[in-house]
Chain A
Amino acid sequence: MNFEKMLVKFEFEQWLVEEAQLLDEIQFDDWFNLMHTSLRYQMPVRVNKEGTERPDYSTEMFTFNDDIELLKLRVERLKTDYAWAEIPPSRTRRFVSNVSVKEFFEGERAVVRSYLLIYRSRSTDIHHDLISGERNDEFLFEDGKWKLSKRTFIVDQTTINTRNLAIFV
């Protein structure tokens, strides 16, 4: 890997780390500002297929399938006094790793793949939930910043072992 490629990789690693921090610190407005207006925020339903047949997720049904407007609605909802699922908020810790830049056009667009592990603890419950998966992210460069224009989160469970996805992936 040459120096330039290392810098690009570092730049997106930092982007993802900062994003994780905003979500873990429940700064949803700041997190929302990282999104491009053309956003598609997706999490397909994972399925058990026989053998190595791929893709092993549904291309028609999703656990998230938001555009910018619907994502905004979720963020706004969390600010009402009635969003019980996150009152009090879950304590989350997002670990981002295995970052790999698949496509990169300076000042235009990029495609980045990474792994995500979310630790989630609620209230006084001594049990925690782990949500693991792969993110396929697309970025567009706008106003001097990389903005997320598409996220596909491929979760590693076919039956999700957390009570809800009131948190973001």
Chain B
Amino acid sequence: MFTIEKSLDEMSKEQIVNFLKETVKPLEGVIPAYLLGDQTVYDIEHQKVFLKTWVFVGHESEIANKGDFMTRDLAGYSIIISRGDEGEIRGFYNMCTHRGMKLCRADKGNKSLFTCPYHGFNFKNTGELVGVPLQKDIYGGDLDRSKLGLHEVKLRSYKGMIFGTWNEDAEPLEDFLGDFKWYLDIVIGRAEMEVIGAPQRFVVNSNWKVGSDNFAGDSYHTMVTHGSIAKLGMVPNATYSKRGFQIYTENGHGLNLGTPNPDFAFPEELKDEYKSNLSEEQYVVLSNLKNMIGNVFPNLSFLISHTKIKGQLISNTSIRMWRPISHDKMEVIAWMLVEKNAPQEWKDRSRDSFILTFSPSGIFEQDDTEVFTDITEAARGPMPFQKNLTYNYTMGLHREPVDFIGPGVAYDDKFTEASQRNFYNYWLELMTK
């Protein structure tokens, strides 16, 4: 046993692992508050979670043309993602191999040559070092440019979504996503999807896990936190969000699937495209979908939301990343996606419904950020650790899973916390490896 007076940063690695195993009990519904407020937990997470798993970095449609590039964060490090002459996508650490200067400072653009602002080394978008100013004069014949290419980053795509990892031994992306792919197909593989404009970015003083937890399975909060939406008549009633299924799969992924829906939430014109991209079972789910909200472990959340705006029903699809900045701060990056072949009028209405509901000004989003901030504030510092204050995650522990048309472990309404227990269980597995 450890005395709780000893803080995590005073413990050895082995002691920390044992302490986590002893205090974090996801399957019993016990999650300690210090997981959200402790700097040491955050530092270990960086090593054992974000540098080990696949992390989302962007969507292929953001760099649709040859020579397009974008810079993104991969577990705290800037990377350049570029599309080459053959249409292939590559990733590089955004660091000049000569003296370490950040090579590219724009969010995105189109060019096939990157010139370092420090000494002018220039690199092709294949990573190859192709030019060194005054090379012959200052290095003689001794500089082997072929050894000074940019550091390549492992990227893989699934249905247009690009993930990266720094872990050379990471399991294949498709295995990591596993059964959860079945549901991701409905979100981003149902049709050819494209990102509209640029992602929204804003900072919330919250631990990143609060966001992941919220999207992985917390529909219970919508009755209260989003009570204003029902009052405005945008959803039928406050318990609207209970009906449906909660589903989780291995590796910490989970979602809430709202169903049934008397209305078809997507452009009718695209039914054939949906049918050709989805299995019969997936199409049944899509046809009856009123919303879908989930989290790909660790920090990529997604959402399909169907609401009534100006008397007209419309859905919008978005994905968002809770990018950790520190234990009590994150950047939220939210991309809005739409069917490429949808009518322009539908695209515009869908975009405007996203802006109204889930952008930084969104009338759903803004109430969430208030809660996230205050939870994180209360978890900070040594006291919650010393007293071992815990959160209750026991909702639905008494319930048995049901048969569902898709894979994973499913429960027959959304008001349970099985998905959050599954999220923390996988988190604990990685943290104590």
Q: Residues of A with Cβ closer than 8 Å to B? A: 43, 45, 47-50, 53, 58-66, 69-70, 73-74, 76-77, 80-85, 158-166
User: Do A165 and B361 touch across chains, with their CB atoms under 8 A apart?
Assistant: yes
Residues B202 and A159 in contact, CB atoms below 8 Å apart? yes
Given contacts A45-B200, A80-B231, A163-B373, whether A65 and B331 have CB atoms under 8 Å apart is: no
Q: In the complex, which residues 365-390 of chain B have their Cβ closer than 8 Å to any Cβ of chain A?
A: 365-367, 369-371, 373
| Contact (Cβ within 8 A) B108 A77 | no
Q: Does B196 contact A (CB under 8 A)?
A: yes
Number of B residues whose C-beta is below 8 Å from A? 44
- For B109, give the chain A residue with the smallest CB separation: A50
Q: B94 at interface (Cβ–Cβ under 8 A)?
A: no
A160 to B309, CA, bound (A): 26
Indicate if the CB atoms of A45 and B199 lie closer than 8 Å: yes
With both beta carbons as reference points, the residue of chain A lying nearest to B363 in the complex is identified as: A77
**The one of A47, A53, A164 that contacts B361, using a Cβ cutoff of 8 Å:** A164
Q: Is the CB of A84 within 8 A of B310?
A: no
B366, A69: Cβ atoms closer than 8 Å: no
B25 to chain A: closest CB distance in Å?
30
Q: Does B201 contact A (CB under 8 A)?
A: yes
Bound complex: CA of A162 vs CA of B228, how far in Å? Answer: 22
Q: Given A48-B105, A50-B105, A66-B356, are A164 and B366 neighbors across the interface (CB < 8 Å)?
A: yes
Q: Which 8 A-B pairs have the closest CB atoms?
A: A61-B197, A60-B197, A82-B227, A164-B366, A85-B366, A50-B106, A165-B361, A82-B228
Determine the distance from Cα of A165 to Cα of B203 in the docked complex, in whole angstroms.
11
Cβ of B201 and Cβ of A158 under 8 Å apart?
Answer: yes
Q: Does B219 contact A (CB under 8 A)?
A: no
- For B361, give the chain A residue with the smallest CB separation: A165
Given A61-B351, A69-B310, A80 and B227 contact (CB-CB distance below 8 Å): yes
Task: Looking at the assembled complex, report how far the CB atom of B337 sits from the nearest CB atom of chain A, in whole angstroms.
Answer: 11
- The 27 sampled A-B contact pairs (Cβ below 8 Å) are A45-B198, A45-B199, A45-B201, A47-B107, A48-B105, A48-B106, A50-B109, A60-B351, A61-B336, A61-B351, A61-B355, A64-B361, A65-B352, A69-B310, A76-B232, A77-B232, A80-B231, A80-B232, A83-B228, A85-B366, A85-B369, A161-B202, A161-B203, A163-B370, A164-B202, A164-B365, A165-B359
Q: Enumerate chain A residues within 8 angstroms of B363, measured Cβ to Cβ.
A: 73-74, 77, 83
Kindly state whether residue B97 has any CB partner on chain A within 8 Å. no
Q: Which of B86-135 contact A (CB under 8 A)?
A: 104-109, 111
Contact with A along B317-348 (1 / 0, CB 8 A): 00000000000000100001000000000000
- Asked if B205 is at the interface (CB within 8 A of a chain A CB), the reply is yes
The reply on B225 being an interface residue by CB < 8 A is: yes
Smallest CB-CB separation from B104: which chain A residue? A50
